[in-house]
Amino acid sequence: MSQQQSEKDKRKEKIKAIVLSLNELFPSISLQTLHQVVLDCNLDEALAIETVIQMCEENGDLLEASIDDEEKEEEHETPECGCDHHDHEEENYEEEEEIEYNEDDIVGEEHYFDDDIGEQVDESAFVEVVKTREFKTKGELYKVLDTKELLQDQEAEVKTAAETLQLKSKVFVECMLKEYQWNTEKLIRDYGDLGLDALLTKCGLNPDFKKSCSSSTIGTCDACYSDDVPLYAYDMCGHVFCRTCWKEYIVNHVKTAMNDNTVKCMDYSCKTTLTETFMLSQLDPKEDKELFEKFFQRKIDSYVGSSYRLKWCPNPGCDGPYAIKKLCDESLYIAQCKCGEECCFQCDKDPHFPCSCDVYKRFLTIAQDDFASKEFIHRTSQQCNKCKRIIFKDVGCNHINCVCGHEFCYICGSEYTSYVHAETVCAPKTVKTSEDIKLFSAAEELYGRFVSLYRRHNQWLEEHKRTGHYRLEIANYKEKFFHIRPTKDLKFLLDSFRNIYRCRRLLRSCYAFAYIHFGFDTLKIKFNTTKKSEKEFLMLETYGYLFNDHLSRLEDYTSDLLLNLDAILNLSLDERDFRSRITTMQGKSHLITNTQKNIIDFINTSFDMKEISYK
């Protein structure tokens, strides 16, 4: 009996939780109505939201006044969810109606325009989910630095390493870090393994070097062969050249953006690293002011270019320059620059979860070069040498009579001169096994759809990246309507756009993932007919269907959201219509957040992302 009681309590708790979350989304609809919808939908939150949205669309009055009891009865008699538990719910209803809703939890209409209420849609929620799911790391994953901060950051790196290695000369430490591509951990490890002297030698530095005054002598310069000129020695190795030659050498280095990280001594056989102090001492601060600036610019470039943790923002229109510094050791698949651009730190492309960089690259080759259809044609067809028509043949004789009159062999493509075209004289250009043909036609049929869906989203995303269309439209709208529409709603429009953008980006890479993972790879298993792979295939196929199901949900919600956004931006709506659209959008946004979470959960639980290795 008590167990039954606790079951009932649990159910009540659940109903209450769903009703309250619906109340947040639809604050103008009465709790009784929401409560009833939740029961009608058998406690399915997603279904309940859809039902309420539908109700709002069908009956705009709902938004202004909550329906009274008679109407509620009507609603109840014609449930929209079509579930078959209504009689049962009916019996429990009296009892369950007793649920008390805490007033603090309820979002009422009077609060609706209050800007203090938290955002309805947490735009960063999705990014957060991806981050935590993918990396399971707490704390900052990356930071964005401008040029000034980069110099400070570099100094800080040098300082930390110098302290750990207990070295006084920061100039030396900087040279070593450059040699180690700013991988401090590796430098410290090698310090432990090799000892200081060997480490310094490895980095082109002289361990016995004690700072001494740069001595000048008179003699012949080995670089320009001028006689009786003052020669200056680089103390670390003792090589001497005239001032003009040293300067030319260093200026050359500063001016030409070479990729080498450290600058070596001018003597061609000498591997000694020139320190920054020495190089700067060869320049005149007054005369070479421009060169000094260039020198520091070069220093930053070389820092970003050589550090495996740093990368310039890949956005060509970035208002920085800003560099992204990776703080975590794991791969960083999504990072956002201060200019707003989001990218994959590893490969510079747009974020592409759930694809790995390799899988995404592999898919892009397919999508861009129309690889799939070319490969398909190549594998399953033959081309007439005379008129260049592509001929497909499923069954039947290999003797092809082309419409142009040319007769040729389907296997090797050569002209059919004799009816005894035996296998001995036939030398196939490409081997077309029936397995290949089956595989590619199956892949094309099942998963070619993914490629076209990918392209649809890609086109939209690229178009927007280029034109910034929606951002402009929304800005115009704000300017035009700021006096009659609540600020909160205007902000919500931009949030919704961001939401749509991210959804389409997620969908785009999900289709790429599905094509590679459920397409070719699944089919390869299918045509490999061992018992084990048969099982694997069935499992993958099921996953494929489930995944597709999630994606089409997200497709629907996203296009609904976009449809309403378009309507608000392009049609002159009256207040009631505007409000109804906003409410619909809020509902859809909530569904989108849930679906995104489901997709990410699905991927993370169905596949061990680390174990998927593509070659």
Residues that bind Zn ion in the complex, under the rule CB under 5 A: 221, 223-224, 237, 239, 242, 245, 265, 267, 270, 272, 313, 315, 318, 322, 337, 339, 341, 344, 346-347, 357, 384, 386-387, 389, 402, 404, 406, 409, 411-412, 426
Pick 202 or 478: Cβ nearer Zn ion: 202
118 or 405: CB nearest Zn ion? 405
Number of H helices, E strands in the chain: 21, 12
Report the candidate in 347, 345, 344 with the shortest Cα–Cα distance to residue 505. 344
> Which of 414, 533 has the CB closer to Zn ion?
414
Structure tokens of 229? 């000129």
What CA–CA distance (Å, rounded) separates 465 from 339? 13
Cβ-in-10-Å burial (0-12, 13-18, 19+) of 572 comes to exposed
Contacts of 305 (CB under 8 A, 6+ apart): 259, 261
Give me the least distance between CB of 327 and Zn ion, in Å please: 18
- Minimum Å gap between C-beta 331 and Zn ion is 8
Whichever of 83 and 328 has its CB closer to Zn ion, that residue is 328
C-beta of residue 465 within 8 angstroms of C-beta of residue 505: no
Q: Which of 13, 6, 77 is nearest to 43 (CA)?
A: 13
Q: Shortest approach of Zn ion to residue 425 CB, angstroms? A: 7
Q: Is the dihedral of CA 431, 432, 438, 440 positive or negative?
A: positive
Name the residue nearer to Zn ion (CB basis): 339 or 442: 339
Distance, in Å, from the CA atom of 569 to the CA atom of 490, rounded to the nearest integer, reads: 11
- The amino acid at 552: S
Largest CA distance in the chain: 112
* Residue (303 or 477) nearer to Zn ion, CB: 303
Least CB distance from residue 360 to Zn ion, whole Å?
6
CA distance 465 to 192: 49
Residue 330 CB, nearest approach to Zn ion (Å): 13
10-44 burial, b for 16+ CB within 10 Å, e for fewer? eebeebbebbbbbbebbbbbbbebbbbbbbbbbbe
Fill in the DSSP letter of residue 275: P
Q: Report, in Å, the least distance between residue 509 CB and Zn ion.
A: 10
Q: Which of 468, 458, 470, 561 is nearest to 512 (CA)?
A: 458
The nearest distance, CB 588 to Zn ion, in angstroms, is 29
Residue 245 or 506 having the CB closest to Zn ion: 245
Which is closer to Zn ion, CB of 38 or CB of 359? 359
- For the CB of residue 335, give the shortest distance to Zn ion in the complex, in Å: 10
Nearer to Zn ion, 318 or 494 (CB): 318
Instruction: State the CB neighbour count (10 A cutoff) for residue 7.
Output: 10
Is the Cβ of residue 27 or residue 354 nearer to Zn ion in the bound state?
354
Query: 506 Cβ partners below 8 Å, 6+ apart?
Result: 126, 353, 554, 596, 599
Q: How far is the CB of 285 from Zn ion (least distance, A)?
A: 22
Q: Whole-number minimum distance, CB 172 to Zn ion, in Å?
A: 16
Q: How far apart are CB 244 and Zn ion at their closest, in Å?
A: 6
Query: 440: exposed, middle or buried (C-beta count within 10 Å: 0-12, 13-18, 19+)?
Result: buried
Tell me whether residue 82 or residue 405 sits nearer to Zn ion (CB atom). Answer: 405
